[in-house]
Amino acid sequence: MVIRRNHYDAAFEDYLRAAKAPYVAVDEKRRALAQNASIKSLDFIVYSQQGPNLLVDVKGRTEISPDQRQSRRWENWATIEDIQGLQQWQELFGEGFISALVFAYQLPPNSMSNNLETLFPYKGSLYAFYVVKIDEYRLKMRSRSHSWRTVFLHQQDFHEMRQPVDAIIQC
């Protein structure tokens, strides 16, 4: 087990352990080199018995509750470097592997009644994990900030693409 300082990554790793999903935690402190170029590290390699294996980059976000906004909004931004790195990993691993962003949302305590697919408790907080395959994300991503080099999905696109992580990771 890799020591994780980011509570979103730690919660997702605890989820994988609880689900008995075979995985490899990647040491984020070192960047990988491939063909003399540095590639942004991914967070986990998750093995699947029934589908493609996942190359995962976890993106931690705090869900904004409906009472704070008119409608529920799920942040789903990533950096261009995240997207490019996941693309490169997918190409390097080849057939049988797909890269994906896992959006890990830390939810407010009242979320039990919000009709979410699966909530996972971790150290006194609740989390929801959603997967978006990198190839699908790339097709619909929009620029969020040119100077910060970030992209995002419109809410409708995100809701159509996202899948609860337990629908993909079947153990």
Residue 85 sits in a domain whose CATH number is 3.40.1350.10
**Position 2 in a domain:** no
Tens digit of pLDDT for each residue in 102-129?
Answer: 999 998 766 654 556 678 999 999 999 9
**Position 104 in a domain:** yes
Nearest residue to 83 via CA among 46, 52, 62, 57: 57
Tens digit of pLDDT for each residue in 81-107?
Answer: 999 999 999 999 999 999 999 999 998
Q: Is the pTM of this model over 0.85?
A: yes
Tell me what the mean pLDDT of segment 158-164 comes to.
94
Tens digit of pLDDT for each residue in 63-72?
Answer: 655 555 445 5
**Position 49 in a domain:** yes
**Position 1 in a domain:** no
Judge contact between 134 and 87, C-beta under 8 A.
yes
* Structural domains of the chain, count: 1
**Position 163 in a domain:** yes
pLDDT surpassing 60 at residue 49: yes
| pLDDT of 169 | 79
**Position 59 in a domain:** yes
Domain of 25 in residue numbering reads as 7-168
Tell me what the mean pLDDT of segment 59-65 comes to.
77
- Kindly state the tokens that stand for 37: 């170029």
Judge contact between 125 and 101, C-beta under 8 A.
no
| pLDDT of 62 | 82
Per 3-state DSSP, the chain is made up of helix, strand and coil in percentages (nearest 5) of 30, 35, 35
Tell me what the mean pLDDT of segment 58-62 comes to.
92
Q: Between these two residues, 73 and 146, which has the higher pLDDT value?
A: 146
| pLDDT of 50 | 80
